[in-house]
Amino acid sequence: MLETSARLLQLLSLLQSRAEVNGTEAAEKLGVTTRTIRRDVDRLRELGYPVDSDPGVNGGYRLGVGAVRHTTVRLAGTSDDVDPQTLIAVAQAAAATERIRVVYRDAGGRETERRLDPHKLVSTGRRWYLVAFDVDRADWRTLRVDRIVELHRTGHRVRLDHPPDAAELVSRAVSVAPYRYTAKVVIDMPADELRRRVPATVGVVEPKSSRRSVLTTGSDDLDALAGHLVALGRPFKVLRPKALRDRVHELADVLRRA
């Protein structure tokens, strides 16, 4: 059975992804009883999530209109052990356009104090990210919520000028930025179809025309990148990097000789 905090976040992601979720179905997906689902729904309500429900054993649940729903975004893509109290505090601050002070631990374990103007929470399914304007760095940043060690609401209201597309920013951060190679490739496939084949956690898809798309993705291995492109089964052209273009040509020669 999932730990309570992780299960609550999975239930929240499920509620975000559908207009209504049947209690029995939710119990099956999370591997618990319908009674546990009812308790978890009550817990979400205590944390400030507006969950509406229909009466009866098989009644459905809906994430109602409220601050949390308007400040969270879901990317297609199970869940880190994020403290629900931290998650709700961030969502409420974003809804109130209120600056927060946090202690943030990076991938190397170094802790820094940050002043953040929160914009939106983005769920990739596996992780939760906060998109916020970093006051001291004067730039928009994505931060993993599970790496927020301390959080304090300041009560200071702010105005967010020209906030970015939160889902796209996180998609680029998790699918491109962490890797050695960043690839930009034109693929003979409509954007809607390519997005169904390439999750937002893997790459960013932009339409080039009605029949072609531009895929931006990342990897530490050129052969792995080439293999994923070939597996799409459509003609493609590597715009960059040159190292990937050269490797694709080398692999094509090997296949022809074989």
Domain ranges for the chain, please list them: 4-65, 70-164, 176-257
Q: What is the spatial distance between Cα 131 and Cα 119, in angstroms, rounded to a whole number?
A: 6
Give strand pairing partners of 142.
Answer: 131
CATH number belonging to the domain at 176-257, selected among 3.30.160.620, 3.30.930.10, 3.40.50.2020, 3.30.70.250: 3.30.70.250
Q: Which two tokens stand for residue 173?
A: 């951060």
Q: What is the spatial distance between Cα 213 and Cα 209, in angstroms, rounded to a whole number?
A: 7
At residue 6, the pLDDT reads 67
Half-sphere exposure of residue 211: CA atoms within 13 angstroms, side-chain side: 4
The answer to whether 4-65 and 176-257 have equal CATH topology is no
Q: What is the spatial distance between Cα 37 and Cα 45, in angstroms, rounded to a whole number?
A: 12
pLDDT digits (tens, 9 = 90+) for 193-223: 999 999 888 889 999 999 999 999 999 999 9
Domain 4-65 falls under CATH 3.40.50.300: no
pLDDT > 90? residue 67: no
**Count of H-run helices and E-run strands, the chain:** 9, 13
CATH class of domain segment(s) 70-164: mainly beta
Q: Which range (7-16, 76-85, 121-130) has the least confidence?
A: 76-85
For residue 191, give every residue at least 6 positions away whose Cβ sits within 8 Å of its Cβ, in sequence order, or none. Answer: 205, 206, 207, 213
The CA dihedral of 64, 62, 132, 43, to the nearest 10 degrees, is 90
Task: Give SS3 for 60.
Answer: strand
pLDDT digits (tens, 9 = 90+) for 89-114: 888 888 889 999 999 998 889 999 99
| β-strand pairing of 98-105 with 148-157 | antiparallel
Give strand pairing partners of 240.
Answer: 184
